[in-house]
């Protein structure tokens, strides 16, 4: 413990995806705030390293696609040896290794030990012997599971790092707000004021994708509630986005491949609602306070939207918590059991319960919109409904409003 209090140069190891890094930002903030003049370096995957400009608690970001994490396999060990040498030259005082409970921290711990980093912290199921100097015994999932944010805050708290701010971290840049305001104004041929819905239909793993035609149907029904519907995706998802926009109609704005990460975040910040699969943009929305309808495949219960108004939609199935990237069940029932009507009802229920008062457009200088947003006090999992309950609740609200 005394060694951690004195540590100034700390390596934060989070080698998986962008959403995982975002859910670790409160723990990294705790490390930053719990010591004098601390310098934090994030070691993460090349895809998650794109977060570098937006994490204000991190001083440096190094990209590394580790061979023990699901990345394209390198044919030689040279990149791994080079990274060990780079870590050695940086002379870190400590390393905090962040993992989900299905991952082993020991390969990263060995790398950090070989690099001469004297303090090494992680959750660990096995006896790590000399690979870790500090650890929390891994008890998940057999003794219950925690949200990923809570899990990582508990890890750093074990070495004395705490924070009063457990929000996800993402700093939107002024130039990105300005660019998005101009893009939306041009797309709708008028000022970008008014209600905007963002639909993000993609996800890295096929097991986390709601059918595209259902996004189109839900978007078509919701279009009457918004001034514009922005449909986002990667360059490779242009056909997917175009098909969804065609179903939605004239209010749809296709943005596949058109947005940098910073502009995507500015768009989500500007939106009144995000409808998406459980993927990185959901965690960006959570960081920025934008309500979310999350089509949440029952692959991992720990990654629900954090501290933001949300509706998590799925159908309970015997194979829940499967952690699979590809569904092996006929028809993918945990997601295909969710109807477009359920998404529409959940969206309207969220809109009726959240308030963005005094909203202004980002100015030409790119300031953040002034927003008063009603949000849950802690976490996101309590503010969820199964698909059928969302429909019933929304119908009740609509009936009482007539």
User: What are the residues facing 228 on neighbouring strands?
Assistant: 196
383: pLDDT strictly greater than 80: no
The residue that leads in pLDDT, 379 or 116, is 116
Q: CA–CA separation, 46 vs 58, rounded Å?
A: 16
DSSP code, position 372 = B
The residue that leads in pLDDT, 99 or 324, is 99
All domains in the chain, ordered by first residue: 2-157 (3.40.50.2000), 174-401 (3.40.50.2000)
Confidence of residue 366 (pLDDT cuts 50, 70, 90): low
Q: CA–CA separation, 398 vs 381, rounded Å?
A: 24
The residue that leads in pLDDT, 278 or 377, is 278
The residue that leads in pLDDT, 149 or 214, is 149
Instruction: Give this prediction's pTM.
Output: 0.85
Contact 148, 24 (CB under 8 A): yes
> Starting at the edge strand that comes first in sequence, how are the strands of the sheet with 39-44 ordered?
60-63, 39-44, 9-14, 94-97, 119-124, 134-137
Contact 189, 279 (CB under 8 A): no
Contact 17, 47 (CB under 8 A): yes
Q: What is the pLDDT of residue 321?
A: 57
Closest listed residue to residue 12, CA positions, set 47, 49, 37:
49
Q: What is the pLDDT of residue 208?
A: 56
Strands 252-256 and 273-277: unpaired
pLDDT digits (tens, 9 = 90+) for 218-273: 999 999 999 999 999 999 999 999 999 999 999 999 999 999 999 999 999 999 99
Q: What is the pLDDT of residue 390?
A: 45
Dig out the tokens for 257 from the structure. Answer: 């491949």
293: pLDDT strictly greater than 70: yes
User: For all residues of the chain together, what is the average pLDDT?
Assistant: 85
Helix (H) or strand (E) segment spanning residue 256: strand 252-256
E strands in 9-150? 9-14, 39-44, 60-63, 94-97, 119-124, 134-137
Confidence of residue 70 (pLDDT cuts 50, 70, 90): confident
171: pLDDT strictly greater than 50: yes
**Those residues with Cβ within 8 angstroms of residue 240's Cβ, 6 or more apart along the chain or in another chain:** 201, 202, 212, 233, 256
Q: What is the pLDDT of residue 367?
A: 53
**Those residues with Cβ within 8 angstroms of residue 288's Cβ, 6 or more apart along the chain or in another chain:** 170, 172, 265, 268, 269
Confidence of residue 313 (pLDDT cuts 50, 70, 90): confident
Question: How many helical (H) and strand (E) elements, i.e. helices and strands, does the chain have?
Answer: 13, 12
Helix (H, G, I), strand (E, B) or coil at 249: coil
Confidence of residue 302 (pLDDT cuts 50, 70, 90): confident
1: pLDDT strictly greater than 70: no
The residue that leads in pLDDT, 189 or 155, is 155
User: What are the residues facing 97 on neighbouring strands?
Assistant: 13
Contact 293, 274 (CB under 8 A): yes
Instruction: Please give the average per-residue pLDDT across 71-80, as a whole number.
Output: 81
Lowest-confidence region among 131-140, 205-214, 316-325: 316-325
């Amino acid at each position: 413990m005394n060694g951690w209090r004195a540590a100034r140069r700390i390596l934060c190891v989070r080698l998986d995806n962008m959403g995982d890094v975002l859910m670790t930002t409160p723990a990294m903030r705790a490390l930053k705030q719990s010591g004098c003049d601390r310098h934090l370096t994030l070691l993460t995957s090349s895809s998650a390293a794109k977060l570098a400009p937006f994490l204000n608690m991190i001083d440096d970001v190094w990209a590394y696609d580790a061979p023990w994490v699901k990345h394209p396999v390198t044919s030689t060990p040279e990149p791994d040896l080079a990274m060990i040498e780079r870590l050695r030259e940086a002379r870190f005082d400590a390393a905090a290794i962040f993992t989900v409970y299905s991952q082993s921290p020991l390969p990263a711990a060995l790398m950090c030990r070989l690099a001469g980093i004297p303090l090494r912290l992680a959750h660990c199921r096995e006896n790590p012997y000399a690979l870790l100097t500090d650890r929390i015994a891994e008890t998940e999932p057999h003794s219950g599971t925690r949200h990923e944010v809570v899990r990582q805050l508990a890890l750093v708290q074990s070495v004395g790092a705490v924070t009063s701010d457990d929000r996800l971290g993402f700093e939107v840049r002024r130039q990105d707000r300005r660019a998005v305001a101009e893009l939306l104004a041009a797309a709708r041929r008028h000022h970008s004021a008014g209600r905007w819905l963002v639909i993000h239909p993609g996800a890295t793993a096929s097991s986390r994708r709601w059918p595209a035609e259902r996004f189109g149907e839900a978007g078509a029904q919701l279009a009457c509630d918004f001034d514009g519907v922005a449909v986002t995706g990667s360059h490779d998802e242009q056909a997917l986005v175009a098909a969804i926009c065609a179903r939605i109609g004239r209010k749809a704005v296709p943005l596949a491949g058109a947005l940098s990460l910073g502009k995507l975040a500015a768009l989500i910040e500007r939106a009144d609602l995000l409808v998406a699969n459980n993927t990185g943009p959901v965690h960006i929305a959570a960081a920025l306070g934008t309500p979310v309808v999350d089509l949440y495949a029952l692959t991992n219960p720990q990654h629900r939207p954090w501290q933001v108004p949300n509706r998590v939609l799925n159908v309970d199935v015997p194979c829940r918590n499967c952690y699979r990237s590809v569904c092996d069940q006929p028809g993918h029932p945990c997601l295909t059991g969710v109807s477009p009507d359920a998404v529409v009802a959940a969206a309207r229920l969220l809109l009726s319960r959240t308030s963005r008062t005094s909203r202004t457009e980002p100015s030409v200088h790119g300031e953040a919109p002034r927003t008063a947003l009603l949000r849950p006090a802690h976490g996101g999992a309590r503010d969820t409904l199964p698909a059928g309950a969302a429909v019933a609740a929304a119908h009740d609200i609509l009936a009482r409003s007539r």
